[in-house]
Structure 1
Amino acid sequence: MHYENVELLAAGGEGHALAKIEGKVIFVKYGAPGDVVDLQVVGRKKKFSLAKITKLHKESELRREPFCEHYGTCGGCKWQHIDYPSQAKLKDTWARDCLTRIGKVEVEETLPIVAAEQLQFYRNKMEYTFSNKRWLYDNETLEELEHTNALGFHAPGRFDKVLAINKCWLQDDKGNDIRNFVYEYCIANDYTFYDLKDHTGLMRNLMLRNTKAGDWMINVIFAKKEDDKIERLLKAIQEEFNPKALNYCINEKLNDSTFDQEFISYSGDFEIQEELGGLKFNISPKSFFQTNPVQAEKLYEVAIDFADIQPTDVVYDLYCGTGTITCVAATKAKKAVGVEIVEEAIEAAKVNAGINGLTNVEFLAGDMKDVFNAAFYAEHGKSDIIITDPPRSGMHPKVVDYLVEIAAPKIVYVSCNPATQARDLAMLDAKYKIVKSQAVDMFPQTHHAENVVVLELR
């Protein structure tokens, strides 16, 4: 179905723009509020349709020229075509709307969004995939290619196709040098790239991590054990870049997950170390760590400021990951207790506490809905403040119910998905009032934002 001269009204779900035609909701890919466009519907759901722009009659005042050559193809950084002040404003509005429209909760004070200063090259971790079946860009034909090998990102909606990436603007530019070097070395030396359907080939994944101080970790994931080729590639990487940590892994499984695989140190240290809030944190190949460390510091500053921790307070940190917020809280509290489902993350959290000389922290591994209960409360003591930072799906209903039951005086809820945060806040609304709310932009050029609220007992 085709529509003409449609004005796009607002920012909608998944970074799309929103249009309404004859009462129907249409999300428009790569649109901007204020555009006047012709649309072609490319997908239908029960409550909305998805469309693409076929002609742009009038450009929104929010528009700018995207800076990345892969924009519109790789599926990332969907808001490059919107100027940054407008991005921040749209995210701020979205976070506020989630609380009032989805949660239908009242907020006593909403502070302006904490915008990002670094708009490019802000991530500290990138993962790339090798494939012998690359995705063709619009200006390419199969016949003109010397080969079909690629190192880059999965094409949107295609697990078996990979986009060849020349320059990515998300991680420090040295990451582009490393990725391109590895790719060119493998091509020049006839290394086989992984076939994502047949599960053949040697080269599987490349993971790059770096710190604010400029230390780099290079992790190469191979699909099988070919000692001579593995040694030659790793030696070439070491000689070219001399990274702080160079590790490798042999993943012979059918899926790319490496959380159950062993990484082996080839040269340098096994880990790198980042500093946040005056504390040091070790990062291993498999560590979960905030991918924008500069904005993460600002996020934690908001959370700790909202918590207003006193020296006599006992603080629970739910969904604590590797204990970053727990450790920061422990510098101000009588005791901090972190809980996380991933056992390896808890072990890392204990190490991080030790590195920083913190003796007033405790960590527990377990599924939150199973371990956050009366027995936990009896063992660790009455909490004065609870900080919760759940995954995008939000908190399990059992966890929300127990929060209501124990009635801690204060809850600080840090969320990477304001929509599920709003749902949880609605369940807490009878017991708690929302005193403050503030969004933090962790991911410029995307529609994603974090939101922090502080709740107090009514």
Structure 2
Amino acid sequence: MPFPFAPEQYEDQLTEKSNRLTELLTDWEHPELEVFRSETHYYRMRAEFRYWHEGDRSFYAMFAPEDRRKPIEVTTFPVASKLINELMTKVNDAVHQDEELRNKLFQVEFLTTTSGDALITLIYHRQLGDEWQERAKYWQEQWGFPVIGRARKLRLVMDRDYVQESLTIAGQPFKFRQYENGFTQPNAGVCQYMVSWAVNHTQGTSDKDLMEMYCGNGNFSIPMAQNFRKALGTEISRTSVNSAQENIELNQVPNLKIARMASEDLSNCWLKGQKSRRFDEFEIDSYDFDTVLVDPPRAGLDDTTVELLKRFRRIVYVSCNPETMIENIAALKDDYKISACALFDQFPYTHHMEAGVVLERIES
């Protein structure tokens, strides 16, 4: 099988991850690790497949790590949402019926939501003309979901380029517009647990302010803003910033602002006085920050940003790479204690795991 899927091994794998994360936290005193499990089937909200052609026959393909040249046909994908599995069949059938869609189709991508929305992206090794658009519009009506066509230096949006997601966070409903080329958490069920955990562990600070670095589309900061007087999110991706602004409007969160700036630049401006017009526009002095949340990429935080964390009484660190998280927080050990820690099983059947810690400054 070209993808990891072993439901009968799930409990053992989850226990192994829990033990591994506990081992990583050995140097810290901490409360009992909270473990948030995934569904064993249909948990991924997005998937992408190569589309392979052999004579008159074409099929979805994946590749085993040991042989990237030999395609393995994929007819069902039980780790992906039920809607993705339904659309895989519909799209494959349509492509075989319609040579205009099939001609030099290279890849198919699906983005779905827990609320039943979907987006289908068809990627080609040729330019797409009026005839393709005509056929794509027809199939879009048949499939019931919007289609995007991509080719070299070309992106054709037939209707819209986003899906509308509804998530329940700490018992409350939130809406998120998720864009085709923007980052979203792949496992929506575990995402709801993860953000709820962050909301629940930052209560009681309504007279203070929140900063989130790497805020993405507002996945954390929009639900968390209710716990604070004001909130500021920073993000470098223009797509994510625009999405976050729209999601703020969708959820009517007036006390949250989003600023487009890399965390490294923010840290250099704040700590080292580096000049930046964007930083000046934040009006940092108008905030009374108590809590910071960071959810960085796998490489973790740079040294200056780690130093910046020391300006906050509470640090919520969420990470897709616990090893770099542990390396980063080692510099905080003398001044902070862990008040909560958690494992979020975003990626079942793989060695990857999402982790979170809440650090509180030790009162002298």
TM-score strictly above 0.5? yes
Task: Report the CA distance shift for 1:230/1:329 in structure 2 as closer, same or farther (over 3 A).
Answer: same
Q: Kindly indicate whether the alpha-carbon contact (under 8 Å) linking 1:95 and 1:439 is maintained by their aligned counterparts in 2.
A: yes
1:275 aligned to which of 139, 142, 166? 166
Cα shift readout 1:27-78 (whole Å, capped 9, x = no counterpart): xxxxxxxxxxxxxxxxxxxxxxxxxxxxxxxxxxxxxxxxxxx2xxx1x326
d(CA) in 2 for partners of 1:77, 1:174: 20
Secondary structure in structure 1 of the residue aligned to 2:30 = strand
Q: CA deviation at 1:315?
A: 0.4
Q: Establish whether residue 333 from structure 1 lines up as the match of residue 235 from structure 2.
A: no
1:392 aligned to which of 285, 288, 298? 298
d(CA) in 2 for partners of 1:340, 1:330: 16
d(CA) in 1 for partners of 2:139, 2:8: 37
Q: CA deviation at 1:304?
A: 1.7
In structure 2, the partner of 1:77 is: 4
TM-score w.r.t. length of structure 2: 0.86
Cα shift readout 1:215-255 (whole Å, capped 9, x = no counterpart): 22222223332325523542453243212xx13133216xx
Task: Report the CA distance shift for 1:94/1:327 in structure 2 as closer, same or farther (over 3 A).
Answer: same
Task: Report the CA distance shift for 1:158/1:321 in structure 2 as closer, same or farther (over 3 A).
Answer: farther
In structure 2, the partner of 1:434 is: 338
Q: CA deviation at 1:275?
A: 1.7
The RMSD of aligned alpha carbons is 2.5
State how 1:319-358 maps to structure 2 within 5 Å.
319-358=214-253
In structure 2, the partner of 1:128 is: 49
Which has the larger helix fraction? 2
In structure 1, the partner of 2:81 is: 172
Matched to 1:415, the amino acid is S
Q: Establish whether residue 106 from structure 1 lines up as the match of residue 28 from structure 2.
A: yes
In structure 2, the partner of 1:10 is: none
1:403 aligned to which of 309, 327, 331? 309
d(CA) in 1 for partners of 2:69, 2:135: 25
Q: Kindly indicate whether the alpha-carbon contact (under 8 Å) linking 1:150 and 1:162 is maintained by their aligned counterparts in 2.
A: no
In structure 2, the partner of 1:208 is: 110
In structure 1, the partner of 2:276 is: none
In structure 2, the partner of 1:90 is: 16
Q: Establish whether residue 217 from structure 1 lines up as the match of residue 112 from structure 2.
A: no
Q: Kindly indicate whether the alpha-carbon contact (under 8 Å) linking 2:104 and 2:126 is maintained by their aligned counterparts in 1.
A: yes
Q: CA deviation at 1:203?
A: 1.1
d(CA) in 2 for partners of 1:122, 1:177: 14
Q: CA deviation at 1:263?
A: 4.7
Secondary structure in structure 1 of the residue aligned to 2:164 = strand
Secondary structure in structure 2 of the residue aligned to 1:204 = strand
Matched to 1:176, the amino acid is N
Matched to 2:265, the amino acid is D
Matched to 1:252, the amino acid is R
Q: CA deviation at 1:365?
A: 1.4
Q: Establish whether residue 412 from structure 1 lines up as the match of residue 316 from structure 2.
A: yes
Q: What is the aligned length?
A: 347
In structure 1, the partner of 2:150 is: 250
Secondary structure in structure 1 of the residue aligned to 2:132 = helix
Identity level (%): 24
d(CA) in 1 for partners of 2:50, 2:174: 33
Secondary structure in structure 1 of the residue aligned to 2:126 = coil
Task: Report the CA distance shift for 1:333/1:263 in structure 2 as closer, same or farther (over 3 A).
Answer: farther
In structure 1, the partner of 2:355 is: 451
Matched to 1:156, the amino acid is P
Q: CA deviation at 1:366?
A: 2.0
Question: Which runs of at least 4 in structure 1 moved beyond 6 Å after TM superposition?
Answer: none
Q: CA deviation at 1:204?
A: 2.4
In structure 1, the partner of 2:190 is: 295
Q: CA deviation at 1:445?
A: 2.6
Q: Kindly indicate whether the alpha-carbon contact (under 8 Å) linking 2:83 and 2:116 is maintained by their aligned counterparts in 1.
A: no
Secondary structure in structure 1 of the residue aligned to 2:194 = helix
Q: CA deviation at 1:151?
A: 2.3
Q: More relative contact order in 1 or in 2 (CA 8 Å, sep 6+)? A: 2
In structure 1, the partner of 2:199 is: 304
Secondary structure in structure 2 of the residue aligned to 1:443 = coil
- Unpaired segments ≥5 residues, structure 1: 1-69, 133-144, 194-200, 254-260
d(CA) in 1 for partners of 2:203, 2:233: 18
Matched to 1:251, the amino acid is A
Q: Kindly indicate whether the alpha-carbon contact (under 8 Å) linking 1:192 and 1:203 is maintained by their aligned counterparts in 2.
A: yes
Task: Report the CA distance shift for 1:81/1:330 in structure 2 as closer, same or farther (over 3 A).
Answer: closer
Q: Kindly indicate whether the alpha-carbon contact (under 8 Å) linking 1:307 and 1:454 is maintained by their aligned counterparts in 2.
A: no
Task: Report the CA distance shift for 1:397/1:163 in structure 2 as closer, same or farther (over 3 A).
Answer: farther
Q: Kindly indicate whether the alpha-carbon contact (under 8 Å) linking 2:44 and 2:188 is maintained by their aligned counterparts in 1.
A: yes
Q: Kindly indicate whether the alpha-carbon contact (under 8 Å) linking 1:154 and 1:163 is maintained by their aligned counterparts in 2.
A: yes
Q: CA deviation at 1:178?
A: 2.2
**Which protein shows a greater Rg?**
1
Cα shift readout 1:299-318 (whole Å, capped 9, x = no counterpart): 11111222235211200111
d(CA) in 1 for partners of 2:94, 2:101: 11
Secondary structure in structure 1 of the residue aligned to 2:123 = strand
